[in-house]
Amino acid sequence: MRYHIDTIPVWDAQKLDSECLLCALRRQIERGEVERFLGGSVMEPDTRVQVNAKGFCQRHHVLLYAQQNRLGHALMTHTHMRETRQKADQILSAAVEGSQGKDSSRIKRVLGRGGQDALNAAADALDRLTGTCILCDSIESNMNRYAYTLLHLYTHDTAFRQAFEGGKGVCLKDAALLLRMAAEELRGKEQQAFVQALQSLIARNMQRVEDELEWFTLKFDYRNADKPWNNSRDALDRAVTKLRSWCLGAEPDGKKE
Ligand SMILES: [Zn+2]
Ligand SMILES: [Zn+2]
């Protein structure tokens, strides 16, 4: 797959020197998307259709809610709810028929499998129905583009390669994103060099944050109360980022709330 290359945001994120440059980019996109969906401008019809179909995940409902635009949030939720109610009724009606031992065309069409398994199939269908998010999808497609760009810069721009290899790198979640992209887009020596660099980068930086987190815990010992924090004051926040991708603490792109 080919992606549009967008080098400036990736270079800017690398220069931030945060624990994960891809988390910083993801958060920038997320903030922009939350504002865009609640923006005053009329939503494109195609986007509207997708909002109705997919809705938002829990995290993104929380972020939309925090924007304090209750009308905009309610309008999108209303049309999504109308569509979801109809789909849920199809699923649950098929479950009713399944529980009655029927094997109707509705069961086959809505659930794919009937008979004894109709209730589990209906549960799976409800899980899928409540597992979609247009914001997550949009973020994911942007992140694929940034991961692709990062690999492109790594293989074509010596200055970027040096900055990346000497930097704080990425979280484990984004290491997975980069590995998948490297499997897709890099071959031979380029792939080997990148994977080797990623391994060293993560080993070195995980060790650093682990040591900082240990010092953070030791600072709670009264005998260490007067000793300096060094870089450990926010070590817990940064350790969580390294392990699970950014979700708490200071904004990963340095933006002030
Ligand atoms: Zn990350
Ligand atoms: Zn989401």
Q: Which ligand is nearest to the CA of 60?
A: 2
Tell me, in angstroms, the distance from the centre of ligand 1 to residue 206's CA: 13
Residues 6+ apart with CB under 8 A from 24: 13, 16, 18, 246, 252, 253, 254
Say what the pLDDT of residue 24 is: 98
pLDDT at residue 114 greater than cutoff 80:
no
pLDDT digits (tens, 9 = 90+) for 144-203: 999 999 999 999 999 999 999 999 999 999 999 999 999 999 999 999 999 999 999 999
Ligand sitting nearest the alpha carbon of 23 = 1
In this prediction, residue 97 has a pLDDT band, given cuts at 50, 70 and 90, of very high
User: Ligand 1 centre and the CA of 236: distance in Å?
Assistant: 15
* DSSP of the chain: ------HHHHHHHHHHT-S-HHHHHHHHHHHHHHHHHHSSSPPPHHHHHHHHHH---HHHHHHHHHTT-HHHHHHHHHHHHHHHHHHHHHHHHHHHHHHTT---HHHHHHHS--GGGHHHHHHHHHHHHTS--HHHHHHHHHHHHHHHHHHHHHHH-HHHHHHHHHS----HHHHHHHHHHHHHH--HHHHHHHHHHHHHHHHHHHHHHHHHHHHHHHTTSGGGTTS--TT-TTHHHHHHHHHH-S-SSS-TT----
Q: pLDDT at residue 42 above 70?
A: no
Confidence of residue 2 (pLDDT cuts 50, 70, 90): confident
Amino acid found at 67:
Q
Range scoring the smallest mean pLDDT among 85-89, 92-96, 97-101, 243-247: 97-101
**Domain-wise residue ranges, the chain:** 21-134, 143-244
Expressed in angstroms and rounded, the spacing between residue 242 Cα and the centre of ligand 1 is 7
Query: What's the average model confidence in pLDDT over 98-102?
Result: 88
pLDDT of 257 over the 80 cut: no
Structure tokens given for 221: 């010992």
| Mean pLDDT estimate for the chain | 94
Q: What is the pLDDT of residue 53?
A: 96
Looking at mean pLDDT, say which of 38-42, 99-103, 133-137 comes out highest.
Answer: 133-137
Q: How many angstroms is it from 246 CA to the middle of ligand 1?
A: 6
What six digits make up the tokens of 70? 């209750």
CA–centroid distance, 189 to ligand 1, in Å, is: 25
- Does residue 141 carry a pLDDT above 70? yes
Q: Output 257 or 196, whichever has higher pLDDT.
A: 196
CB 197 within 8 A of CB 177: no
Q: What whole-number distance in Å separates Cα of residue 240 and Cα of residue 235?
A: 9
For residue 128, the model assigns a pLDDT of 96
Phi-psi region of 47 (alpha: psi -120 to 50; beta: other; left: phi over 0): alpha
Half-sphere exposure of 154 (CA within 13 A, CB side): 27
Give the number of the ligand closest to the Cα of residue 33: 2
Kindly give the distance from the C-alpha atom of residue 113 to the centroid of ligand 2, in angstroms, as a whole number.
29
CA 133 from chain centre, in angstroms, equals: 11
Rounded to the nearest angstrom, the distance between the alpha carbon of 248 and the centre of ligand 1 is 12
Query: How many angstroms separate the alpha carbon of residue 139 from the centre of ligand 1?
Result: 13
Q: What is the mean pLDDT of residues 227-232?
A: 95
The predicted structure's pLDDT at residue 245: 97
The pTM score is 0.92
Sign of CA dihedral 169, 175, 178, 179: positive
- Predicted confidence band of residue 83 (pLDDT cuts 50, 70, 90): very high
Ligand number nearest to the C-alpha of 131: 2
Ligand 1 geometric centre to CA of 132 (Å): 21
Q: Which two tokens stand for residue 152?
A: 């492109």
The C-alpha R_g of the chain, in whole angstroms, comes to 23
